[in-house]
Amino acid sequence: MTVNRTIFAENTTPEVGETYSSLTDQGFIKFTVTAVNASDVTVDTNHPMAGKTLNFDIELVSINPADV
Protein backbone atom coordinates (compact mmCIF):
# COMPACT_ATOMS: atom_id res chain seq x y z
CA MET A 1 0.00 0.00 0.00
CA THR A 2 1.30 3.48 -0.78
CA VAL A 3 0.64 6.29 1.70
CA ASN A 4 1.44 9.97 1.72
CA ARG A 5 4.65 10.73 3.57
CA THR A 6 2.79 13.32 5.68
CA ILE A 7 1.24 10.56 7.83
CA PHE A 8 4.62 10.27 9.56
CA ALA A 9 5.62 12.74 12.27
CA GLU A 10 7.60 15.76 11.01
CA ASN A 11 10.78 14.64 12.77
CA THR A 12 10.50 11.08 11.39
CA THR A 13 12.37 9.96 8.29
CA PRO A 14 11.00 6.54 7.29
CA GLU A 15 13.58 4.13 5.88
CA VAL A 16 13.18 0.82 4.07
CA GLY A 17 12.97 -2.07 6.52
CA GLU A 18 11.73 -0.03 9.48
CA THR A 19 8.61 -1.22 11.30
CA TYR A 20 5.95 1.12 12.66
CA SER A 21 2.53 0.78 14.24
CA SER A 22 -0.51 2.96 13.72
CA LEU A 23 -3.96 3.26 15.27
CA THR A 24 -6.76 2.65 12.75
CA ASP A 25 -10.52 2.18 12.97
CA GLN A 26 -9.84 -1.55 13.42
CA GLY A 27 -7.23 -1.05 16.16
CA PHE A 28 -3.44 -1.02 15.98
CA ILE A 29 -1.70 -2.35 12.88
CA LYS A 30 1.99 -2.95 12.33
CA PHE A 31 3.60 -2.24 8.99
CA THR A 32 7.04 -2.37 7.41
CA VAL A 33 8.38 0.30 5.06
CA THR A 34 9.27 -1.25 1.68
CA ALA A 35 10.00 1.87 -0.44
CA VAL A 36 10.37 5.62 0.08
CA ASN A 37 10.36 8.57 -2.33
CA ALA A 38 9.98 12.33 -1.93
CA SER A 39 6.20 12.29 -1.45
CA ASP A 40 5.12 8.69 -0.78
CA VAL A 41 5.99 5.71 1.40
CA THR A 42 5.13 2.16 0.39
CA VAL A 43 4.28 -0.09 3.31
CA ASP A 44 3.58 -3.79 3.79
CA THR A 45 0.84 -4.50 6.35
CA ASN A 46 1.07 -8.29 6.12
CA HIS A 47 1.96 -10.26 9.23
CA PRO A 48 5.75 -10.91 9.37
CA MET A 49 5.10 -14.67 9.01
CA ALA A 50 2.88 -14.26 5.93
CA GLY A 51 4.09 -16.34 3.01
CA LYS A 52 6.48 -18.41 5.14
CA THR A 53 6.34 -22.15 5.71
CA LEU A 54 5.30 -22.89 9.27
CA ASN A 55 6.07 -26.20 10.97
CA PHE A 56 4.43 -27.28 14.20
CA ASP A 57 5.26 -30.08 16.63
CA ILE A 58 2.08 -31.28 18.29
CA GLU A 59 1.21 -33.90 20.88
CA LEU A 60 -2.22 -35.54 20.63
CA VAL A 61 -3.33 -36.02 24.23
CA SER A 62 -6.83 -37.41 23.75
CA ILE A 63 -9.62 -38.19 21.31
CA ASN A 64 -13.24 -37.81 22.30
CA PRO A 65 -15.05 -40.94 21.00
CA ALA A 66 -18.24 -38.92 20.51
CA ASP A 67 -16.46 -36.82 17.89
CA VAL A 68 -15.15 -39.80 15.88
Quick: pLDDT tens for 18-46. 999 989 898 999 999 999 999 999 999 99
Pairing state of beta strands 2-4 and 40-44? antiparallel
- Per-residue model confidence (pLDDT) at position 42: 97
The span from the CA of 4 to the CA of 41, in Å, is 6
Asked if pLDDT for residue 63 goes beyond 80, the answer is yes
CB 27 within 8 A of CB 21: no
Amino acid identity at 59: E
Q: What is the pTM of this model?
A: 0.70
As a whole number of Å, the end-to-end CA separation of the chain is 45
Asked if pLDDT for residue 61 goes beyond 90, the answer is yes
Burial 32-50 (b: 16+ CB within 10 A, else e): ebeebeeeebbbeeeeeee
